[in-house]
């Protein structure tokens, strides 16, 4: 090997060997990644759950299990979520995900309660019967454990009618009620049409269920299908 080439390679090797400790020292000097603060994760999950429970109770009680986030990198963008179709219940989990700088997700276990008042049938309410104050009885309980749509404001349903029989002591649900004037599919209804100088009225069969103010299709005795607006009286007004 020529002497000049040997000398060049020796100098290059020496430079590499000299740089290695410096590189190692630089890596050793880099601070470790900051871990995620668990309190921030809990705070995001708590805010999210309170939003989900807002329609049930303004002041729910929420307690979270301890979580360990020391192996997760500190996050700049946290958001909470629940599985599709999930709803608040007494014992549940809430997901918290990080979008940046490094994506990760963690689940937080929570105990939830929302003490409040709901209403049950004070007596048997038959199908088609109007809801009156004497038909309602208040009960205290944990609103989180009630079925979806359970009535918590008794005054708001006075005057509505039962869509089917509600047994005494059964929690009243909005799905079991209908507004005054609501018509059901297959129900015979009065159809009115008014124009300049004339007025027509006939009976027909509702082809769908509809509440007052909404549009419904009705089949007349001649087989014609007309569309009209449901009135609070239960009649259908056909605009001309």
**Which residue in 143, 172, 139 sits closest to 158, CA to CA?**
172
At 199-237, the pLDDT tens digits run 889 999 999 988 888 899 999 999 999 999 998 788 999
Among positive and negative, which fits the CA dihedral 230, 231, 235, 236?
Answer: negative
| Alpha carbons 220 and 216: distance in angstroms, whole number | 13
Q: In this structure, which long-range contacts are made by residues 86-95, counting pairs with CB atoms below 8 Å and at least 24 apart in sequence? A: 87/52, 87/148, 88/49, 88/52, 88/53, 88/56, 88/112, 88/144, 89/144, 89/145, 90/142, 90/144, 90/145, 94/45, 94/48, 94/49
The pLDDT tens digits for 42-83 are 999 999 999 999 988 888 999 999 999 999 999 999 999 998
The reply to whether the predicted model has a pTM over 0.85 is: no
Enter the DSSP assignment of 1.
-
C-alpha–C-alpha distance, residues 193 and 56, integer Å: 43
Q: Which CATH number fits domain 188-238: 3.20.20.140, 3.40.50.300, 3.30.540.10, 2.30.30.760?
A: 2.30.30.760
Considering the chain, tell me which residue range(s) the CATH 3.90.1210.10 domain(s) occupy. 115-178
Ranges in the chain annotated CATH 2.30.30.760: 188-238
pLDDT at 195: 75
* Span 156-172, average pLDDT: 94
pLDDT in tens, 4-53: 444 544 544 444 445 445 444 444 544 567 999 999 999 999 999 999 99
Average pLDDT, the chain: 87
Residue with tokens 């979008």: 99
**11 vs 84, higher pLDDT:** 84
For CA atoms 77, 83, 84, 85, the dihedral sign is: negative
Distance (Å, rounded) from C-alpha 14 to C-alpha 1?
18
The residue to which tokens 């129900």 are assigned? 187
Check residue 239 and give its pLDDT: 83
Token representation of residue 228: 């009209």
Q: What share of the chain is helix, strand, coil (3-state, %, to 5)?
A: 25, 35, 40
**Which overall architecture, per CATH, does domain 115-178 show?**
Alpha-Beta Complex (3.90)
For residue 177, the 8-state DSSP code is: E
Are 98 and 72 spatial neighbours (Cβ–Cβ below 8 Å)?
A: yes
* Residue 167 banded pLDDT, cuts 50, 70, 90: very high
- The neighbour count for residue 223, using CB atoms within 10 Å, is 6
Average pLDDT on 110-134 reads 95
């Amino acid at each position: 090997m020529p002497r000049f080439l040997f000398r060049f390679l020796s100098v290059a090797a020496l430079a590499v060997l000299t740089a290695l400790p410096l590189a190692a020292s630089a890596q050793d000097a880099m601070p470790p990644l900051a871990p995620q603060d668990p309190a921030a994760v809990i705070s995001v999950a708590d805010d999210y759950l309170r939003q989900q429970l807002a329609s049930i109770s303004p002041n729910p009680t929420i307690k979270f299990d301890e979580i360990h986030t020391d192996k997760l990198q500190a996050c700049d963008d946290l958001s909470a979520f629940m599985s599709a179709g999930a709803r608040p219940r007494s014992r549940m989990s809430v997901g918290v995900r990080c979008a940046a700088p490094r994506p990760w997700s963690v689940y937080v276990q929570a105990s939830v309660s929302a003490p409040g008042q709901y209403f049950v049938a004070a007596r048997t309410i038959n199908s088609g019967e109007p809801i009156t104050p004497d038909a309602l009885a208040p009960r205290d309980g944990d609103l989180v454990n009630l079925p979806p749509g359970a009535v918590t404001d008794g005054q708001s349903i006075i005057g509505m009618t039962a869509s089917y029989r509600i047994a005494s002591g059964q929690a009243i649900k909005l799905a079991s009620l209908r507004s005054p004037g609501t018509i059901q599919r297959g129900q015979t209804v009065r159809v009115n049409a008014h124009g300049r100088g004339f007025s027509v009225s006939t009976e027909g069969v509702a082809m769908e269920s509809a509440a007052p103010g909404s549009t419904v299709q009705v089949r007349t005795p001649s087989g014609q299908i007309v569309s009209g607006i449901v009135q609070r009286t239960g009649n259908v007004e056909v605009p001309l």
